[in-house]
A and B are shown apart, each in its own frame.
Chain A
Amino acid sequence: MTWVNDVVQGILLGGVYALLACGLALMFGVMRIINLAHGDLAVVGAYLVLVVLDHANISPFLALVPVLPVMLIAGYGLQRIVLDRALRAGVLVPLLSTFGLSIVIQNILLEKFSPDVRSLGGQAGSIATGSWSVTNAISISQIGALIVVVAIAVLGGLQLFLSRTQAGRRMRATAQDPDTAELVGVDSRAVYARATALAVAIAAVAGLFLAIRSTFYPFAGPTQLIFAFEAVVIGGMTSLWGTLAGGMILGVAQTVGGQINTQYPVLAGHIVFLAVLALRAALGRQIS
């Protein structure tokens, strides 16, 4: 029964990873940019919620509402001011730019908010600690369930946007061939800016849940980035549902690993990630 519980907890944990991973997948899918500052942007989202809470005595979920438009604009600006220029300079420059951005963000956060470890769990109320007992051995935390529901809603919404709307079609067309997209009337730079804006705003949502579920501090981003990155790769980098599955596989690997030995959760996640990579490489060689 303990093992079943581990799998359930892993799936709940996977919700956070999937939420963080989908922005990463979106930017990689549309612009082939690996955003090394993605985890830090999630942490920025958490701190912005904290700032709102300093001024208003409201629920952190409500405090996210004014943060989202700020993050959308920040993402749009990031693409227009930094990444567009970087893209023109070759494939490696965007990677280096986001690496630099990551360091800048961490140090600004350190200066503004001190290195203290924070959490929004206390301000979120009973949902942060409440749980439903399914059996004696299995319980589902309310925040975990909420995260999974939000992750499915965000990924599903993004999928619908990409497949059903004109803006989504244009985003997919631009991802496949930006030059030709321009020739049929699509402003590829505006599409890029919109994709980054979406990715950064979704990162803030992930940051909020990370902050409620556990803790955050100025340098919390890179660890989250690695988990999100692994979720994207395990998911196969082709579909958003794959990313959701990737997040959950990683979550399960970590909780099951933790059950084997309390020192193993992160290691187990990395091993599953490497195993998936090796398996895919072996299969790829067989096909070719």
Chain B
Amino acid sequence: MTALLSVRDLDARHGLLPAVRDVSFEVAEGETVALVGANGAGKTTLLRTIAGAHRPSGGSVSFDGRDVTRVRAHARVGLGIALVPEGRKLFPQLTVEENLLVARRPRENGWNLERVLEAFPLLQPLRTRIAATLSGGEQQATAIGRALMTNPRLLLLDEVSLGLAPVAVDAVYRSLQTLIESGATMVLVEQDLARALAAADRVICMLEGRVVLTGTSSELSREEITGAYFGLHGVAQ
């Protein structure tokens, strides 16, 4: 397997505060990786840096063998990286359909408006609704659909279940499962460990900006991950 995404020695900071420290990992084509860790562990900053929305202070990001560290966010979308940002970030005054169409980047046999609406049937009756008036689950479906409209080769999902009703989370994960089965490559940030382990092939656990534990979902125990999550990893050994 060749790496689709390769992150090497990545550093990113907010002002003087280091958020991501010396992070290196690879994601192979077709793989689903879950990024877990406590609040403030640097997961969101890491995803935003991969997507080009945050400027790294060191290290590199390569995509499909090409160094994209200096490539701007909109150009990375063109290469095939799409981020579903934390908090959905829909364009509030645009309709659902316009939110989807804004991101349109057609490819043969790829995602288009019809296919996205098929994948998220709940959006079908909401096409002409203004995004600001949607419920959390509807917004999340629109945000994922919007990312799919760019026909990404790598989908980065940041806290897709945050602030959603459990029923809505189930619906979102059912559609993600369909994507995973269709061979999509994904990195997802998830607070719910059970969901992360169920959805992902591999888990990367972050603590205070560093990767402290990594392994396949099957070989890591829940206790190991919880230990790393709270920084007890070294203590436990």
Residues of A within 8 A of B (CB): 166, 169-170, 172-173, 176-177, 179-188
B94, A183: Cβ atoms closer than 8 Å:
no
| Top 9 closest pairs, chain A to chain B, by CB | A185-B77, A184-B103, A182-B73, A180-B89, A173-B91, A187-B74, A173-B102, A176-B91, A182-B74
Q: Using Cβ atoms and an 8 Å threshold, which residues of chain A touch B82? A: 183-184
**Contacts A183-B77, A186-B74; is A172 near B103 (CB within 8 Å)?**
no
Q: How many angstroms between the C-alpha atoms of A273 and B23 in the bound complex?
A: 57
B105, A185: Cβ atoms closer than 8 Å:
yes
Query: Does B53 have its Cβ within 8 Å of any Cβ on chain A?
Result: yes
Would you give the shortest CB distance from B38 to chain A, in whole angstroms?
25
Q: How many angstroms between the C-alpha atoms of A188 and B149 in the bound complex?
A: 18
Q: How many angstroms between the C-alpha atoms of A185 and B100 in the bound complex?
A: 12
Query: Does B161 have its Cβ within 8 Å of any Cβ on chain A?
Result: no
Residues of chain B in range 84-129 having any CB-CB distance to chain A below 8 Å? 85, 89, 91-94, 98-99, 101-105
Q: How many angstroms between the C-alpha atoms of A184 and B22 in the bound complex?
A: 27
Query: Does B32 have its Cβ within 8 Å of any Cβ on chain A?
Result: no
B72, A182: Cβ atoms closer than 8 Å:
yes
A177, B91: Cβ atoms closer than 8 Å:
yes
B74, A176: Cβ atoms closer than 8 Å:
no
Q: List 20 A-B contacts (CB under 8 A).
A: A169-B94, A169-B98, A169-B101, A172-B91, A172-B94, A173-B99, A176-B92, A177-B89, A180-B85, A180-B89, A181-B91, A182-B77, A183-B82, A183-B83, A184-B146, A184-B149, A185-B74, A185-B77, A185-B78, A185-B103
Q: Which residue of A lies closest to B100 (CB)?
A: A184
Would you give the shortest CB distance from B55 to chain A, in whole angstroms?
12
Q: How many angstroms between the C-alpha atoms of A227 and B51 in the bound complex?
A: 44
Cross-interface CB contact of B51 among A173, A181, A183, cutoff 8 Å: A183
B77, A180: Cβ atoms closer than 8 Å:
no
How many residue pairs, one in A and one in B, have C-beta atoms under 8 Å apart? 65
B101, A166: Cβ atoms closer than 8 Å:
yes
Q: How many angstroms between the C-alpha atoms of A187 and B75 in the bound complex?
A: 8
Query: Does B196 have its Cβ within 8 Å of any Cβ on chain A?
Result: no
Q: Using Cβ atoms and an 8 Å threshold, which residues of chain A touch B85? A: 180, 183
Query: Does B150 have its Cβ within 8 Å of any Cβ on chain A?
Result: yes
Q: Using Cβ atoms and an 8 Å threshold, which residues of chain A touch B74? A: 181-183, 185-188
A183, B53: Cβ atoms closer than 8 Å:
yes
Query: Does B157 have its Cβ within 8 Å of any Cβ on chain A?
Result: no
Query: Does B147 have its Cβ within 8 Å of any Cβ on chain A?
Result: yes
* Max chain B Cβ within 10 angstroms of own Cβ: one of A173, A182, A184: A184
Q: Using Cβ atoms and an 8 Å threshold, which residues of chain B touch A185? A: 74, 77-78, 103, 105, 150
Q: Using Cβ atoms and an 8 Å threshold, which residues of chain B touch A186? A: 74, 102
Q: Using Cβ atoms and an 8 Å threshold, which residues of chain A touch B98? A: 169, 172-173
Q: 17 additional contacts, CB 8 Å, given A181-B91, A181-B102, A183-B77?
A: A166-B101, A166-B102, A172-B93, A172-B94, A173-B99, A176-B94, A180-B91, A182-B72, A182-B77, A183-B51, A183-B53, A183-B73, A185-B77, A185-B105, A185-B150, A186-B74, A187-B75
Q: How many angstroms between the C-alpha atoms of A185 and B53 in the bound complex?
A: 11
Would you give the shortest CB distance from B128 to chain A, in whole angstroms?
13
Q: How many angstroms between the C-alpha atoms of A170 and B104 in the bound complex?
A: 10
Q: How many angstroms between the C-alpha atoms of A176 and B78 in the bound complex?
A: 21
**Contacts A169-B94, A188-B74; is A182 near B53 (CB within 8 Å)?**
yes
Would you give the shortest CB distance from B91 to chain A, in whole angstroms?
5
Would you give the shortest CB distance from B201 to chain A, in whole angstroms?
25
A184, B53: Cβ atoms closer than 8 Å:
no
Q: Using Cβ atoms and an 8 Å threshold, which residues of chain B touch A184? A: 77, 82, 102-103, 146-147, 149-150
Q: Using Cβ atoms and an 8 Å threshold, which residues of chain B touch A180? A: 85, 89, 91
**Contacts A177-B91, A184-B150, A185-B78; is A170 near B51 (CB within 8 Å)?**
no
* Max chain A Cβ within 10 angstroms of own Cβ: one of B52, B82, B98: B98
Q: Using Cβ atoms and an 8 Å threshold, which residues of chain A touch B78? A: 185
Q: Using Cβ atoms and an 8 Å threshold, which residues of chain B touch A188? A: 74
A173, B89: Cβ atoms closer than 8 Å:
no
Q: Using Cβ atoms and an 8 Å threshold, which residues of chain A touch B149? A: 184
B73, A173: Cβ atoms closer than 8 Å:
no
Q: How many angstroms between the C-alpha atoms of A182 and B78 in the bound complex?
A: 11
Q: Which residue of B lies closest to A182 (CB)?
A: B73
Q: How many angstroms between the C-alpha atoms of A181 and B53 in the bound complex?
A: 11
Q: How many angstroms between the C-alpha atoms of A13 and B83 in the bound complex?
A: 49
* Max chain A Cβ within 10 angstroms of own Cβ: one of B52, B75, B102: B102
Q: How many angstroms between the C-alpha atoms of A180 and B102 in the bound complex?
A: 11
